[in-house]
Amino acid sequence: MLAVQKNRKLLGEAVRLKRKKAGLSQERLAEKSDLSTVFISRVERGRESPTVDSLSKIANALKVRVRDLVSGF
């Protein structure tokens, strides 16, 4: 279970870093990815594990590849 929590945190940090680099707020990322702001916040804080579909939406909105978000683990 600890590894899952660590991976969620690493993914969240990657999403936050890419979002900030893109100059997007959580609200704007949520709009662009057709997901809720609450969900984006929970992903960034490592509280939520996105599905592959949600992760793909986030990556597309950030104009990065999914592997760019998960390459840290």
Q: How many domains does the chain have?
A: 1
* The pLDDT of residue 22: 97
Q: 56 with 10: CB under 8 angstroms?
A: no
Which of these, 21, 19, 65, lies nearest to 43 by C-alpha position? 19
Q: So what's the pLDDT on residue 72? A: 77
Residue 73: the pLDDT is 78
Please write the tens of the pLDDT for every residue from 14-72. Answer: 999 999 999 999 999 999 999 999 999 999 999 999 999 999 999 999 999 999 999 97
Residue 33 maps to which CATH number?
1.10.260.40
Domain range for 61 is 2-70
pLDDT at 1 (0 to 100): 67
Instruction: Tell how far CA 55 is from the center of its chain.
Output: 6
